[in-house]
Amino acid sequence: MDFDLTEEHRVFQKFIRDFAEKEVVPLIEEAEEKNVFPKQLFKKMGEMGFLCPRYPQELGGGGGDKITECIMVEELSRVNAGIASSLMLQSGLGTQPIYRFGSEEQKQKFLVPAIKGEKISAFGLTEPDAGSDAASIKTTAVRDGDDYVINGTKMFITNGPICDYVVAVAYTDPTKRGEGINLFIVEKGTPGFSVSRKLDKVGNKSIETGELVFEDCRVPAKNMIGEKEGGGFDMVADTLISGRITYGSRCTGTAQAAYELSVQYAKERIQFGKPIIKFQATRFKLAEMAMNIDIMRSYTYRVAWMYDQGKKVRKESSMVKLFTSETLQKILSDSMQIHGGYGYMMEYPIQRHWRDGRLFTVTEGTSEVQRLVIARESGF
């Protein structure tokens, strides 16, 4: 079994790391301060094939695999988790349902422009009263002639305030729990579709997150993903499996950033006449961080490889999400401890990674939900 990255992976890793350092880092301070995503990154990354690296080149993608996408997300998360999240959404949740299940017309109208960075996507699943229990959503889509009329509210939607379209999850038949769900592509500017508010968050400030409202929103029937009513819940599940693997790289990149900052600080901080990195208590913390980051990265890549091989990875994808997000919490806690009082000061970047990373055990399936999935898939 070969655990090394291919030459193509290494070349891509270098390119995306250089891009993150040169193009993303200078934008972070303003994005965090103003809570405004630098939208020019979509076009820049799209032109280079970095935005959706695992979609075919004939659609404008990079022609890579799942590991390639994981490399992209890790390198972007290493510099800023918020900016990485918006771009990660574009390469996954906001486009995969169209790529996997959409019509050719939908792919040309929505997917190709999204891959090129010309359209910004969002994924509308979570609602004010429906999070972990996705089947309990209340948004409905009622057929009326050649249209569907959508009513409902979506909450915590990444890219919501800036999206050109959202893949909205709604019931076409509310009497069939889970089974009566479908996905609809709703374009910005459609009457009845609005962003009711932009949300203010503790961390991930550079993501624009919003609450979306559909009030008698009339959407063409051809914008429904799939050929018949029902079956949308399986599409959601398929999309989330891929997203949970990618999430491993989001956690790994954030952990890598915290580790690098902690090593640097420990070398510079002098106490009792020597750098604190010389003390065993600090060295052991850093050693454990390094070990766990390597495990996080290795397991994420392994499951990404399994996904590319077409293997069933519902259990393993939840394991990736659970292990990496929970392990990240310990790494961030130790990083803050190493920084001491300075870590709690806004001028030190470690606090941003600490705030950002706290979200990761909650979004895209809480740790509790991941445990339920793992237990069910294990047969107990």
- Which DSSP category does 312 fall into? -
Q: What's the CA gap between 104 and 111, in Å, rounded?
A: 10
Contact assessment for residue 81 and residue 254, using Cβ atoms and an 8 Å cutoff:
yes
Residue 311 has what pLDDT?
A: 96
Q: What's the CA gap between 260 and 320, in Å, rounded?
A: 22
Q: Where are the alpha helices (DSSP H) in 135-279?
A: 232-268
- Which DSSP category does 130 fall into? B
Residue at token pair 């290493």 = 78
Sequence-ordered list of residues with C-beta below 8 angstroms from that of 347, at least 6 positions apart, any chain = none
Q: What is the pLDDT along the chain (380 residues), one digit of tens a residue?
A: 678 899 999 999 999 999 999 999 999 999 999 999 999 999 999 999 899 999 999 999 999 999 999 999 999 999 999 999 999 999 999 999 999 999 999 999 999 999 999 999 999 999 999 888 889 999 999 999 999 999 999 999 999 999 999 999 999 999 999 999 999 999 999 999 999 999 999 999 999 999 999 999 999 999 999 999 999 999 999 999 999 999 999 999 999 999 999 999 999 999 999 999 999 999 999 999 999 999 999 999 999 999 999 999 999 999 999 999 999 999 999 999 999 999 999 999 999 999 999 999 999 999 999 999 999 999 99
Residue 330 has what pLDDT?
A: 98
Residue 348 has what pLDDT?
A: 96
Residue 45 falls in which region: left (phi positive, over 0), alpha (psi -120 to 50) or beta: alpha
Query: 34-66 burial by CB neighbour count: b if 16+ within 10 A, else e?
Result: ebbbbeebbeebbeebbbbbbbeeebbbbebbb
User: In sequence order, what are the beta bridge partners of 271?
Assistant: 274
Residue 1 has what pLDDT?
A: 65
Q: List the domains of the chain with CATH numbers.
A: 7-115 (1.10.540.10), 121-230 (2.40.110.10), 233-377 (1.20.140.10)
Instruction: Say whether 309 sits in a helix, a strand or coil.
Output: coil
Contact assessment for residue 135 and residue 90, using Cβ atoms and an 8 Å cutoff:
no
Q: What's the CA gap between 278 and 5, in Å, rounded?
A: 33
- From the candidates 208, 364, 368, 377, which is the catalytic residue? 364
Residue 153 has what pLDDT?
A: 98
Query: 287-317 burial by CB neighbour count: b if 16+ within 10 A, else e?
Result: eebeebbeebbebbbbbbbbbeeeeebbbbb
What's phi and psi for 13, nearest 5 deg?
-60, -45
Q: What's the CA gap between 40 and 49, in Å, rounded?
A: 14
Q: What's the CA gap between 226 and 269, in Å, rounded?
A: 58
User: In sequence order, what are the beta bridge partners of 181?
Assistant: 171
Known catalytic membership, residue 187 = no
Contact assessment for residue 243 and residue 192, using Cβ atoms and an 8 Å cutoff:
no
Q: What's the CA gap between 221 and 213, in Å, rounded?
A: 19
Its pTM stands at: 0.95
Q: What's the CA gap between 373 and 380, in Å, rounded?
A: 10
Residue at token pair 């559909």 = 214
As to burial, measured by CB atoms within 10 angstroms (0-12 exposed, 13-18 middle, 19+ buried), residue 99 is buried
Residue at token pair 């409202």 = 213
Contact assessment for residue 52 and residue 65, using Cβ atoms and an 8 Å cutoff:
no
Sequence-ordered list of residues with C-beta below 8 angstroms from that of 371, at least 6 positions apart, any chain = 318, 322
Tokens of 96: 């995969």
Write the CA distances from 133 to 173, 309, 321, 336, 365, integer angstroms. 17, 29, 17, 33, 9
Instruction: Say whether 173 sits in a helix, a strand or coil.
Output: coil
Within 10 A of 241 (CB to CB), how many other CB atoms are there? 22
Strands 193-198 and 209-220: antiparallel
